[in-house]
Each structure stands twice: as C-alpha cells, then as structure tokens.
Chain A
Amino acid sequence: DAKTTQPTSMDCAEGRAANLPCNHSTISGNEYVYWYRQIHSQGPQYIIHGLKNNETNEMASLIITEDRKSSTLILPHATLRDTAVYYCIVDSSNTGKLIFGQGTTLQVKP
C-alpha cells in the first residue's frame, strides 16, 4: 500500500517557485520523508529528507507540517532543467527499502 499521495502532474513557470505537495497521513514517528526526482532517461536523484523540522539545502527546501501528515518540497526558482518526476517517500532510516510511487510530473515552462 502506498504510504504517500501526490498529484499526478503540475506545471510551473520558469523562475517561479515550484511547490510540490505530499500527503503521508499514516506516517510513523520514526519515519523520515525523502524526496527524489528522476529526469527523463536518468536514474533517480536524491534531493532532500527530513524528520520533523524544515530542511534546506542547495537544491530545495522541505516543509513538514507540525503533525507530520503532509509536506511540501519547494524549488525556489524553477528552471527548465527541473522538469522531472518527483517522488515523495516515507521510510524509517536503515531499512533500505524505498518504495517509489508514481510521483508528480513537474513541467517547468518558459
């Protein structure tokens, strides 16, 4: 059973922020939220992960709600190269068994 729910597709204008939502209402206390993306014909790429607090790195920001039932990945200034399928995954660290759902196809448009 899928642990996360994501919209199938989204569009974003180039240069604008892309906000990708993810619902994970059954998340357990020890489960992290991971985001990966897959650009066409490439292997998935790790973006960011978090447990409770908001996180930021050079690629994106991750906002996790206080009840941890949902999160949002933010690409602050989307470029055409950010067009990809974005996967939200919840898992407890050290299992290694990432379950990839269908993800959100983000199309960044000029």
Chain B
Amino acid sequence: DARVTQTPRHKVTEMGQEVTMRCQPILGHNTVFWYRQTMMQGLELLAYFRNRAPLDDSGMPKDRFSAEMPDATLATLKIQPSEPRDSAVYFCASGWVWSDTQYFGPGTRLTVL
C-alpha cells in the first residue's frame, strides 16, 4: 500500500532556528504539494512541483520559506528563521500531472516557541 511519508512527525523548536521538513512522494507520482493547516486559516497551499520543477509558490512567505525537490523521491520545505506564527501542521501530498487526485502524508506538526 503506497503512501506519502513525512519526517519528522513532530518538531518543537525555538524562534530563529532553521526547520527542515521532508517528504517522500508515492513512487511514480509527478506532482508534489506542500500545504499548511492552522485552526485560523484552515488548509493553505504553499507550493507545488511538477516533474520536480517548482510551478507555483505564491502561497509561501518568500523571505523565510523555501521548497525544493532535489530528486524524484524527496521534497523538502525549509523555514529559516522560524517564527511562532509558523506553528502549524504541514502536509505533503503527491499525485499525477493529469489529475487533481492528491494523496496526503500524515503531516509534520511544528511548534515554534
């Protein structure tokens, strides 16, 4: 049963520290998405990749967030420096380019103190 995996599942850090979240998409999928979920804002799309190329990162604060896909099996979301308002659950999802059916990972719960 193929699944999207995310690491770490939980992260507690102090303000100003760098945070890196990792995602392994389902093998064969060629689109990868990063979402953030908070109680106030709900689920927000931060960025997405197609065939490893960034297509849209308009939902992401550019000054501190960066997203990359160094290879087809790994996507990363980095926050530097982190702030308390970044506390949220970050989800990665993957899918195929011809479909909006996305498969979500379990999420990384980030707490910035």
Contacts and interface: CB of A to CB of B under 8 A. Distances in A.
B106 A43 contact: yes
A46 B4 CA distance: 13
B93 to A, nearest CB: 7
A98 B97 contact: no
A102 B33 contact: no
A34 B101 CA distance: 8
A93 B31 CA distance: 13
Contacts of B104: 43-45
A43 B107 contact: yes
Interface of A: 32, 34, 42-46, 49, 87, 89, 91, 93-102
6 contacts: A42-B106, A43-B91, A44-B91, A94-B98, A96-B31, A96-B95
A62 B95 CA distance: 21
A43 B93 contact: yes
Secondary structure at chain B's binding surface: helix, strand, loop or mixed? Answer: strand
A93 to B, nearest CB: 6
A93 B98 CA distance: 7
Given A43-B93, A96-B31, A102-B42, A34 B106 contact: no
A46 B101 contact: yes
Q: Identify the interface centre among A44, A45, A89, A91: most chain B CB within 10 Å of its CB.
A: A44
B43 interface: yes
Interface in B72-106: 91, 93, 95, 97-106
B37 to A, nearest CB: 9
Nearest to A98: B100
Given A94-B97, A97-B56, A46 B42 contact: no
A32 B106 contact: no
A42 B104 CA distance: 9
Given A34-B101, A89-B100, A102-B42, 11 more contacts: A43-B4, A44-B43, A45-B104, A49-B101, A93-B100, A96-B31, A96-B50, A97-B56, A98-B102, A100-B42, A101-B42
